[in-house]
Chains A and B, each alone.
Chain A
Amino acid sequence: MERSSRTFVILLTIPAALFFLVFFTYPVLLLVYNSLFDVSLLALQNRKFVGLENYADILTSAQTIKLFSQTLQFTAITLGSEFILGFIAALTFNAIGRKSEVLRTMFLFPLMVAPIVAGLLWRFMLIDNFGILNHILTGLGLIQRTADIAWLSNPKIVLLSVALPDIWLTTCFVTLILYTGLQNIPGEIMEAARIDGANALQTFWSITVPLLRPVIAAVIILRGIDAARTFDSIWIMTGGGPMGRSEVLSLRIYLTMIRFGRFGDASALATVFLVVLLILCLIAFYTIWKPDISKR
């Protein structure tokens, strides 16, 4: 590369690099640094170096295992539901073609709702003694009393309940991405498959899915991270209850930091969460997006 051009490229890169350093690298390093101390948020100057003790506490705590498990379950429920529903919707829109324009626009409406508003809406719909959903189910004769399904207070189903706003909000996003991917599959390949006698299922499995692999990977990585760090809708619906059964890692980090003022512990938990997310993303990247790399 010509020297002047290289200088130009470097100059163009500097703002982004600075932004990255100031708003990502520095906070992450600070997070890791703080995680090595026993420090209260109200007395930041009185910090005591404890090395990896905060990490040891976290990694040996039964609560951490429970939190990781619940975060994983929540992510699996939301991501799985959004992916299946989103794929069905994208295939439907693709099959309808241009006539689906209005439908697609309407389908995107939930994306414009703030998660905290969605959480409130769903809380009012699901709340046992007053919620409209149970009133409708009672009216339809599916349940006897409005209190028969304790959406937000039954520990066995609460994780599913708090996943509903997230599914409602972002299925349309998944649809949008997958639909764009479907639009980019060359028509002649599909045509060739049909001429060769492939049925719809074979075409879908052998052509559509492999060609959509990078798009699917993007959806899984983006939405997976997003779902794993969900905070607002769960906070507003249950606050993590009952009995902590809807508590996920982001809620615990917030509680530890802001409510309990344990800065060091919160930083350590956030660091562990960050590392785990990074590992999961790398796995998704190498197994779905670029499976050929992992086979080398």
Chain B
Amino acid sequence: MLIKQKIQVLLSVFLIAALLVACAPRAATESAAPTTAPDTSGAPPATESAVEGPTEAPAAETATLNILVEGGGHSLQQAIADKFEAETGNTVNFIEVPYQDVHDKLLAEIAAGGSSYDVATIDVIWIPEFAAAAEPLDDLFTDEVKNDLFPALVNDAQFEGRFVGMPTWANAEILFYQKSLFEDPDEQAAFKEEYGYDLKVPTNWQEFTDAAVFFTRDTDGDGNIDLYGTDVKGGVETEWLATVLQAGSPGVALDADGNVIIDNQAHVDALKFYTDLHCTYNVSPPNVNELDWNASQQLFFEGKLAMMRFWAHNYRFIPDDSVVKGNTGVAPMIAGPGGVGAIPGPWYNIIPSTAQNKELAKQFIQFAYENNALGLDAPLGLAARISAYDSYANKEGFEHFNPLIDTLNAPQTIGRPLVTTWNEITNDVLIPLVQQALTCQVPAEEVLADAKAQIEALK
């Protein structure tokens, strides 16, 4: 009995001790606990230390700046960060995550009320969502700055009348093509005989369709098509949205006042052009609804596409062992009845309202703008400033810059609507809409009327 009582006492003591440890104040355990979060325990920022006084930290003049980025953003800003560190003595710590995690992690951090991130480099589509939780950057946007940025980038940098993000780089879809096909005299002669005009790199919908039909063929005589004129992406919505702008629409899905215009004539024309490439002309690899950016670029790299509309940066990403390496030409995005148009794909540096080093963050953002051209030597090779692109436009290996500049400067290159529900509209309406239209079983007008009702319900 005595032994039993002793065991009970021992167990009770053990349980109470365990509970006490579990319920101990967090601060007490934190000091010893390792953390996977970025190291923010260094000296406070120089600008804040003076205010907070000597009890907070020694009179430190340097700090660590934590920047949330995806892979591309990291490589583009590394040289800038190196220079910033050398000139200011501060440390820049990139927290690199996959694309979607930039959004999800930033959202979670802000929702939690504290942030490890002083700067976040985010996709333009997330600007409206995070605008209310981002520090204003109006004083950085002088006339000189605005004049050196593409118009669409300046528009997308602001939400509800205030600037919240500074463009770090800009991208847009341009036209990629296999040069050897377009430069072959036999192909040129055959094309002229069939279509009555010279074969050239397409500049509009009609030329694009003709060239796509012409090059779609069975090259080895096995009865299967192995070269397609182009691709039709059903896994993403952006390419169709670019077509909407080419058709002359004042915006995609919504106009500047937020009215739903997804059933206007330009949207109908664009959807018909987009789906006809697959449904009528069969110029794309089948199973279009599975074609997204990755699948399409893979097909082009394998030489299975004569032409591809794709983000400009891809020009520098053609693998050495690709059959189109050294054989790829680039041109501005094609035009529709409304002219050349594309969806710009810029990324922005923002300062979350929960950031610890806001002044230093702003200093870095300005520094990054001033040294924007440093990103052009990174593998992704993109920038946001017009002057940065101009300085590289005639450099070997950067042949895609002129088509990109032309496309970004086109009047019909317009950003996506700046509404907080854009993510939902894209996921629940636009992508399913494109996929449904690409089944070739429902008329464009009907698909777009349904989409209009759905978007209005989401608003």
Contacts and interface: CB of A to CB of B under 8 A. Distances in A.
Given A11-B15, A129-B291, A255-B427, 10 more contacts: A4-B8, A127-B290, A130-B295, A241-B235, A241-B432, A243-B289, A244-B432, A258-B108, A259-B103, A259-B423
Contacts of A106: none
A41 B289 contact: no
A258 B104 contact: yes
A291 interface: no
A8 interface: yes
Contact of A129 (B12, B103, B290): B290
Nearest to A46: B132
Interface of A: 4, 7-8, 11-12, 14-15, 18, 41-44, 127-130, 144-145, 147, 150, 152-155, 241-244, 255, 258-261
B189 interface: no
Contacts of A129: 285-287, 290-291, 295, 299
A153 B290 contact: yes
Closest 10 CB pairs of A and B: A153-B290, A153-B289, A128-B287, A147-B286, A150-B287, A242-B289, A243-B432, A242-B435, A41-B111, A260-B424
B224 A258 contact: no
A18 B19 contact: yes
Contacts of A260: 421, 423-424, 427
Contact of A41 (B18, B107, B235): B107
B133 interface: yes
Contact of A261 (B107, B288, B299): B107
Interface in B95-109: 103-104, 107-108
A150 B15 contact: no
Nearest to B23: A18
B61 interface: no
Nearest to A61: B457
Contact of A243 (B19, B104, B113, B436): B436
Contact of B295 (A127, A145, A255): A127
A169 to B, nearest CB: 23
Interface of B: 4-5, 8, 11-12, 15, 18-19, 103-104, 107-108, 110-111, 113, 129-130, 132-133, 224, 234-235, 285-291, 295, 298-299, 421, 423-424, 427-428, 431-432, 435-436, 439
A129 B286 CA distance: 8
5 contacts: A11-B12, A12-B15, A15-B19, A44-B113, A150-B289
A42 B130 contact: yes
A157 to B, nearest CB: 12
B409 to A, nearest CB: 32
Contacts of B104: 258-259
A8 B8 contact: yes
A155 B441 CA distance: 13
B427 A259 contact: yes
B435 A42 contact: no
Contacts of A128: 286-287, 290
Contacts of B5: 4
Nearest to A134: B287
B11 A11 contact: yes
A9 B113 CA distance: 41
A265 B129 CA distance: 17
A127 B296 CA distance: 12
A295 to B, nearest CB: 43
A130 B15 contact: no
B132 A130 contact: no
A113 B12 CA distance: 41
A15 B19 CA distance: 8
Contacts of A12: 11, 15
Nearest to A14: B15
Nearest to A22: B22
B286 A242 contact: no
Contacts of A258: 104, 107-108
A42 B373 CA distance: 34
A28 B141 CA distance: 47
A44 B234 contact: no
A296 to B, nearest CB: 40
A243 B287 contact: no
B290 A8 contact: no
A53 B114 CA distance: 30
A14 B22 CA distance: 13
A41 B106 CA distance: 11
A15 B8 contact: no
A289 B113 CA distance: 47
A42 B286 contact: no
Nearest to A148: B286
B450 to A, nearest CB: 11
Contacts of A153: 234, 287-290
Contacts of A8: 8, 11
Nearest to A19: B22
